[in-house]
Structure 1
Amino acid sequence: MKLTVPLLLLVLLVVAGLSRAQVKTSLLDLTNSIGSILPSLSRPANHSRIFYAVMFDAGSTGTRIHVYTFIQKELPVLDNEMFHSIKPGLSAYVDSPEMAGHTVKMLLKVAKKTVPRLEWKRTPVVLRATAGLRLLAAEKAQALLDQVQHVFDESPFLVPDNSVSIMNGTNEGILAWISVNFLTGHLKAQTKKTVGILDLGGGSTQITFLPKLRVSCSLADTICRYKLNSLVITSLDETSHVLALTGLEWRVFKSSCLPKKFRDEWSFGGLTYQVSGDPDGYAGYKLCYQEVLKVVKGIIHQPYELQDSSVFYAFSYYFDRAVDAGLIDGVQGGMLEVRDFKKRAKEVCNKMTKYPPISSFLCMDMTYITCLLKDGFGFKESTVLQLTKKVNNVESSWALGATLDYFHNLKIH
């Protein structure tokens, strides 16, 4: 599989100029009964009406559509998810915004095929953009959003207020936490534990978990009972473009993490960069790790509670790169220790001259993931992560959490 986004390269490009960690404690306040709309994943025998919701995830590397089917009974039940994605992301069309609208229009065909025609006018359609648009200049990002809004307004679906917007990294992490804990059954009233989440996208990374500190209310039947005092770390995001960095000149990137003879152009956020290996230097894991460490160490806050925290589910690029490196099955996923990433990163990097990997960026990405987990977040090498793409056949992302949050804001119970 060809890797579409070199993670460390993106990190190096966007992190230049950072002077402190971007550490945020979530303040998302779902203060009332969102728990009353938390469905399960089984169809009741005697259900009443079916209703739908369409959520677009406009990410850095692609645009995805989630069409959720709910069954309204005493409590709504999540019955099905239809998922489809298109690459590249909307930010790739920064110089031709109309193409962003075309992308969304193409994906809306999935919603039209999934949602019965009689339900279109009652089915809300919402788009939330993440780091790809957060990293653009405000006027350029708005031009893309305006095109999407125009497509929505001309569609037959229900278009609510604030249907198209950019979501900040804190909410991205919180809503992903809601999605995974809901899908794993950890938001039920009798549940005393939750799971943490690790999300690694093309332009941002989030870690979210419920801290061990006492909260002001007990774990009861609503998400608000947690007060969502989850610690969310958003980093490598919402930063200025490259000004200066060791070994990095304006739009020119040379790295020991790449094969020595590698040369290519790479575009992101409307800018094109020249990337290459170091033909006069050395390549390999040790030198690559030193490069990554300059970016990661000291920039990302290490929460002490990770040492005895809950199980962590890792998805997005954690999952994709583990598949590309042959560590897990691309369908089933699997359990990995942090040291597994480290071992495979060494193998890929130290052999890339003799045995080039499928992607020239695999050494860079695997080393970055290793360093991010160990020296960034502070996980032990023995920490076990659950690598997953789907939970109960539903995509593990923030989209479901955002849909539940949307219903709550509409006071749909």
Structure 2
Amino acid sequence: MRIPKLASVFLLVLCLIVYLTYVKKHIDISTPSDSKDHIQSRNGKDELCHSEVGDLNKSNFLYGIMFDAGSTGTRIHVFKFNKTPNEAPKLAHETFKAIKPGLSPYADDPEKCTAGIQELLNVAKEIVPCDLWKSTPLVLKATAGLRLLPGEKAKQLLDKVKDIFQASPFLSREDCVGIMDGSDEGISAWITVNFLIGSLHGLEQNTVGMLDLGGGSTQITFSPQDEKTIQTSPIDYITSFQMFSNTFSLYSHSYLGLGLMSARLAVFGGIEGMPLEEGKTLLSPCLAPGYEEQWEHAEVVYTIKGQKAGEPIYESCYSKVEKMLYRKVKKAEEVKDMDFYAFSYYYDRAVDIGIIDEKTGGNVKVEDYEAAARKVCKSMETDQGENPFLCLDLTYIAALLQELGFPKDKVLKLARKIDNVETSWALGATFHYIESLHKH
């Protein structure tokens, strides 16, 4: 029996449809859930875009991008948060990358910073899904490195970064770049630490204090429990802010010039930013007898020299440190009864003397720094050792902590990371910025 011509055509078309459906299904299965699309940025250029097609719960996430422009390098933190109704968001993941040098070396030619900033922006583009780019805030905060530059040079650098940010596809407002105030740095680091240990997620705020010792400044931040602290402290030491539907009151102060490198210079008898006259040297009892070298601080080179052998080094050095610190630091009485985390050079010097593990950190007593200072300074009377500044640094740290109100038997927690997240100010500053966006 012959099949009618119309039926033959119909059968052929049906077979073709079945075949194409089969092929399409297999192509869909073999395609990764993460695809690359093109999206147009504000400078009119096409951007290669990472899109999480397979993530059905993408609306439960939000992202924040924070650039930390420090004195030695520029770092990017890309934070991914889980949204939680009526609660503080929870950190799902952090992506981190650092490049050297920082922005400061480009002060005379800001255009040269472009390549490094773009390299870090490409990290963010790989991590943040492209359909969230326009709602993901992009911010750069500069710290000590730019604070030390002349105002106009710092402004030109920041303006260049701002141009790059505003040409990117991310959310960049007029305040997307700026130099961070020392107190803001302390408050943001306090938010980071307390967020990571879970102190900000409940009604009971059993928070910890924060100590940071940088190169140019040092910060102390804590939540006062004693009304007397609030009443007797200088008005600019007390601040309050709202976050996660809570109000936080903090004691926070940044001592500019009392960071470890600035303190070294002050103990040596130098003045910040002022070169010595030709042929002049800085003599110090905190250095080994016979030691003489060139030392650079804030782009000024100094010739420093140890005094001749005589009095014990520790006692002589401690006396110099004590005089330098005289009436420069305010004691906060209640800190002796509070838990504190300490970072930066507090951590580094504890690693140097072997009292904590470099990767995991640990607990240190104030008197541990003092005991190590006595030992190192004593050994320098006969051998200057591998680190000529270690005697001074440890002596200064021990003296500074006691001036801030910490007794010798006070235990401090030292950590670089909590739950695998850097304990820097970046996370806290990102939270603060996202909160400000919601308010507006």
Q: Which of 85, 110, 119 is the equivalent residue of 1:97? A: 110
Q: How does 1:220-239 map to 2 (within 5 A)?
A: 225-228=246-249, 230-237=250-257
1:409 aligns with 2:436: yes
SS in 1 for 2:317: helix
1-structure distance, mates of 2:118, 2:309? 48
- Given that residues 266 and 272 in structure 1 are in contact (C-alpha distance below 8 angstroms), is that contact kept between their aligned partners in structure 2? yes
Contact persistence 1:233–1:301 (CA under 8 A):
no
* Deviation larger for 377-386 or 120-129: 120-129
Corresponding residue to 2:275 among 227, 231, 251: 251
* Counterpart selection for 1:295 from 310, 316, 324: 324
Q: Alpha carbons of 1:246 and 1:369: their partners in 2 closer, same or farther (altered >3 Å)?
A: closer
1:373, CA displacement in angstroms? 0.5
Q: Is the 8 A contact 1:337 1:383 kept in 2?
A: yes
Match of 1:304 in 2: 333
Q: Are the aligned partners of 2:365 and 2:408 in contact in 1 as well (CA < 8 Å)?
A: yes
Instruction: Find the aligned partners of 1:148 and 1:348 in 2 and give their Cα distance.
Output: 44
Aligned position for 2:295: 265
Question: Structure 2 counterpart of 1:156, which letter?
Answer: P
Amino acid at match of 2:404: F
- The reply on whether 1:326 has 2:337 as its aligned counterpart is no
Query: Which secondary structure does the structure 2 equivalent of 1:410 belong to?
Result: helix
Shift of 1:372: 1.0
The verdict on how the C-alpha distance between 1:345 and 1:123 changes in structure 2, with shifts beyond 3 A counting, is same
Please report how far the alpha carbon of residue 223 of structure 1 lies from its aligned counterpart in structure 2 after TM superposition: 5.6
CA contact (8 A) 2:313 2:378 kept: yes
Q: Select 1:349's aligned residue among 363, 371, 377.
A: 377
Distance in 2, matches of 1:107 and 1:254, equals: 43
CA contact (8 A) 2:336 2:406 kept: yes
Aligned counterparts of 1:153 and 1:96: Cα–Cα separation in 2: 20
* RMSD (Å), alpha carbons: 3.2
1:118 Cα shift? 4.5
Contact 1:101/1:144 (<8 A) preserved: no
**Cα shift readout 1:244-273 (whole Å, capped 9, x = no counterpart):** 9884374244323233323023041xx312
Change beyond 3 A, Cα 1:224–1:232: farther
- Write the mapping of 1:49-60 to structure 2, written as runs, cut at 5 A: 49-60=60-71
Distance 1:122 1:155 in 2: 12
Q: Which of 396, 412, 416 in structure 2 is aligned with 1:368?
A: 396
The SS at the match of 2:120 is helix
TM-score w.r.t. the length of structure 1 is: 0.77
Q: Does 1:147 align with 2:175?
A: no
The one-letter amino acid paired with 1:262 is E
What secondary structure sits across from 2:141 in the alignment?
strand
C-alpha displacement of 1:86: 3.1
User: Which residue of structure 2 aligns with residue 80 of structure 1?
Assistant: 93
| Structure 2 residue identity aligned to 1:379 | F
Residue of structure 2 in register with 1:109 after alignment: 122
Q: Distance in 2 between matches of 1:258 and 1:154?
A: 51
Shift of 1:377: 0.5
Task: Give the C-alpha shift of residue 99 in structure 1.
Answer: 4.0
Q: How many residues align?
A: 360
Structure 1 gaps of 5+ residues are: 1-44, 216-220
**Within-5 A mapping of 1:385-396:** 385-396=412-423
Code of the residue aligned with 2:94 in structure 1: it is E
**Is the contact made by 2:336 and 2:410 (CA closer than 8 Å) also made in structure 1?**
no
CA deviation after TM superposition for structure 1 residue 170, in Å: 1.6
- C-alpha spacing 1:359/1:121, structure 2 compared with 1 (3 Å): farther
Identity %: 45
Cα distance change of structure 1 residues 158 and 238 upon mapping to structure 2, 3 Å threshold? farther
Contact between 1:257 and 1:277, CA under 8 Å: does it hold in 2?
Answer: no
Residues in 1 aligned to 2:258 and 2:396: alpha-carbon distance in whole angstroms: 19
CA distance in 2, matches of 1:287, 1:232: 32
CA distance in 2 between partners of 1:111 and 1:399 (Å): 15
Secondary structure at the aligned position of 2:377 is classed as helix
Tell me the CA shift for residue 222 of structure 1.
5.3
C-alpha displacement of 1:399? 1.1
Q: Give 1 or 2: higher helix fraction.
A: 2
Residues 245, 357 of structure 1: alpha-carbon distance in 2 compared, 3 angstrom cutoff: closer
Q: Report which structure shows greater RCO (CA 8 Å, sep ≥6).
A: 1
Q: What is the CA distance between 1:195 and its match in structure 2? A: 0.4
Segment drifting more, 136-145 vs 164-173: 136-145
CA 226–244 in structure 1, closer or farther in 2 if over 3 Å, else same: closer
Q: What is the Cα deviation at residue 168 of structure 1?
A: 1.0
Spell out, residue by residue over 1:81-140, the C-alpha distance to the aligned partner (whole angstroms, 9 max, x if none).
Answer: 112223443334434434444443333333233334444343221011122222332112
Distance of aligned partners of 1:78 and 1:192 in 2 relative to their CA distance in 1, 3 Å threshold:
closer
1:20 aligns to what?
Answer: none
**Corresponding residue of 1:167:** 180
**Offset at residue 396 of structure 1 (A):** 0.9
- Are the structure 2 counterparts of residues 347 and 112 from structure 1 closer, same or farther at C-alpha, using a change threshold of 3 Å? farther
Partner amino acid for 1:305? Answer: E
Give the conservation status (yes or no) of the 8 Å contact 1:134–1:238: no
Q: Which residue in the other structure is 1:71 paired with? A: 82
Report the Cα distance in structure 1 between the residues aligned to 2:333 and 2:417, rounded to whole angstroms. Answer: 29
2:165 and 2:112 map into 1 onto residues whose CA distance is 14
How far apart, CA to CA, are the structure 2 residues paired with 1:121 and 1:46? Answer: 18
Q: In the TM superposition, what whole-angstrom CA distance separates every residue of 1:263-320 from its partner, at most 9, and x where no partner exists?
A: 023041xx31214222545583222222222222210111122232x20000122112
Separation of aligned partners in 2, 1:87 and 1:355: 34
Deviation (angstroms), 1:224: 6.3
* Distance (Å, rounded) in 1 between the aligned partners of 2:117 and 2:61: 25
Bigger Rg, structure 1 or 2: 2
Q: Secondary structure at the match of 2:170?
A: coil
Q: Give the direction of change, closer, same or farther, for the CA distance of 1:48–1:94 in structure 2 (3 Å limit).
A: closer
Change in CA separation of 1:107 and 1:296 when aligned onto 2, cut-off 3 Å: farther
User: Shift of the alpha carbon at 1:354?
Assistant: 4.2
Letter in 1 for 2:275: R
SS in 1 for 2:199: coil
3-state SS in 2 of match to 1:54: strand
